[in-house]
Structure 1
């Protein structure tokens, strides 16, 4: 029992040290770039189910993103009223994030199960070329719908989501 108390105190101390300096209000998105200007888009499309894709800057290279690819992207997600709820530019960084499941179903990588992205975001990445920039406007039915609460303190159910996306690299090519 004595060892258990010591272990509990050590774990508590580690927890307290780890939480020191963290901002309780959430990530700092002040480093995120301004929203892309969709009025100067190179092209735009709207699917029958309301997914809007604006190509802001065309990419290069022979390969386009397909569902089996892994990609590294920079992105910022905003609600329709402009509030940022997620970004690769959080806390002063601009490090691209890697996404490994662009399929509509969970996959197993041998270590864990990887959930699919929300449908509108996943579909917005497909067909991109390296260096391409897009704005993807996702209606609620292709986002979180009314199924679950959002992230980082935001309730994104029934919200239209707007993502500015830059494809940095396709990691696994056809």
Structure 2
């Protein structure tokens, strides 16, 4: 009996080692897509415009469309307020002090206020960056992304490993080199 249990354990370890990291990544991605679809089906997000790319798995729901025509390009300065959430509704990060206080994540050592970054030149998670790339100055939207475009297998403060992320974005301002002329 000991040998049978050992044999089953050895066989399962062997078979699991035959699955490559890329196959594991694909399995995780497919699970994330299922979780996103289920979430959207059970929690409809009011929107005036939607974006969905099944290949990327990223979904965007606009609550407000500005039609400003001002989109960010490499090196432009983007100013955005955001609330980052898990699909269970837990807020893990925000640029808004009142939201941080309401969700017991307030940090008195952190400056709150709109997040300002050089588009494509500063480290920002891919799904956040992609969401901004689809938006125009003045838009408000909710972006839902598979873990691959968030923190992936890495856990971050308040974010478990392999977590689908959702960001509520308020694209406040865009500053381009032409704006300075």
TM-score normalized with structure 1 length:
0.63
**Aligned residue-pair number:** 124
Asked if the contact 1:57–1:132 (Cα under 8 Å) also holds between the matched residues in 2, the reply is yes
Structure 1: which 5+ runs fail to align?
1-36, 108-113
Measure how far apart 1:99 and its partner are.
1.7
Determine the C-alpha separation between the residues in 2 that align with 1:75 and 1:94: 11
Determine the C-alpha separation between the residues in 2 that align with 1:156 and 1:69: 32
CA displacement, residues 130-169 of structure 1 (integer Å, 9 cap, x when unaligned): 21001000111111111x2213xx2332001000000110
CA RMSD of aligned residues (A): 2.2
Q: Specify the alignment match of 1:155 in structure 2.
A: 159
Greater helix share, structure number: 2
Q: Specify the alignment match of 2:114 in structure 1.
A: 96
Determine the C-alpha separation between the residues in 2 that align with 1:60 and 1:38: 24
Determine the C-alpha separation between the residues in 1 that align with 2:145 and 2:73: 19
Query: Does residue 72 of structure 2 align to residue 65 of structure 1?
Result: yes
CA displacement, residues 4-38 of structure 1 (integer Å, 9 cap, x when unaligned): xxxxxxxxxxxxxxxxxxxxxxxxxxxxxxxxx95
1:126 counterpart SS class: helix
Closer, same or farther: CA 55–38 of 1 in aligned 2, 3 Å: farther
Closer, same or farther: CA 40–173 of 1 in aligned 2, 3 Å: farther
Q: Specify the alignment match of 1:11 in structure 2.
A: none
Q: Which of 87, 91, 95 is the aligned partner of 1:80? A: 87
Closer, same or farther: CA 50–173 of 1 in aligned 2, 3 Å: farther
